[in-house]
Amino acid sequence: MGPRKPLIGVIGASKPKNRDPENAVAVGRLIASKGWIVICGGLEGVMEAVSRGASEKGGVVVGILPGGKASDANQYVTIPIATKLGYARNAVIAQAADSLIAIGGGPGTLSEIGHSLSFKKFVVGLDSWAVPGMIPAASPEEAIAFTEKQLKKLGLI
């Protein structure tokens, strides 16, 4: 096989606000268009929106689920990983992702941001928490541009 495809963690709340759903759909489309893989929590809200966007472009979506049933995944997840780890699965998403994009988000997303930054991962924020070390982006396109630069730095593209 050729080199593996980058895994982009997309994190955000199950109850999104304002422009979060549109942003997540746009981010999903852009990730899939680049040939990258979405890794997310696999449930509803931002997770479903990014999955839908990636799915529209034929992308692969890995859903790291907190529960034990693959059927918990939203309908756009192509590879459901039913962990039954509860929200310890947030640490797995942060660890497994090559780079992350946070869209909006509540305290669960904050836990993922904290894990990601403590793992020295690159985290772009789109209308998200403002935590030192995160890179704010003004649009889905900018979030992807920052992510692309990071993937190049990591030698993954």
Which residues contact a second copy by CB under 8 A?
1, 4-5, 7, 37, 39, 55, 60, 62, 64, 68, 70, 73, 75-88, 90-92, 95-96, 98, 106-119, 131, 133
CA distance 73 to 80: 6
* Minimum distance, C-beta of residue 137 to a second copy, in the bound complex (Å): 19
CB closer to a second copy, 24 vs 94: 94
* Minimum distance, C-beta of residue 17 to a second copy, in the bound complex (Å): 14
Give ∠ CA 110-37-128 in degrees, rounded to 5.
Answer: 25
Sequence-distant (≥ 6) Cβ neighbours of residue 87 within 8 angstroms: 66, 108, 111
Q: Which amino acid is at 133?
A: G
CA distance 103 to 89: 18
CB closer to a second copy, 35 vs 139: 35
* Minimum distance, C-beta of residue 90 to a second copy, in the bound complex (Å): 7
44 to each of 49, 122, 133, how far by Cα in Å? 8, 24, 27
CB closer to a second copy, 138 vs 155: 155
CB closer to a second copy, 88 vs 139: 88
* Minimum distance, C-beta of residue 120 to a second copy, in the bound complex (Å): 9
Q: The tokens 């893989």 sit on which residue?
A: 37
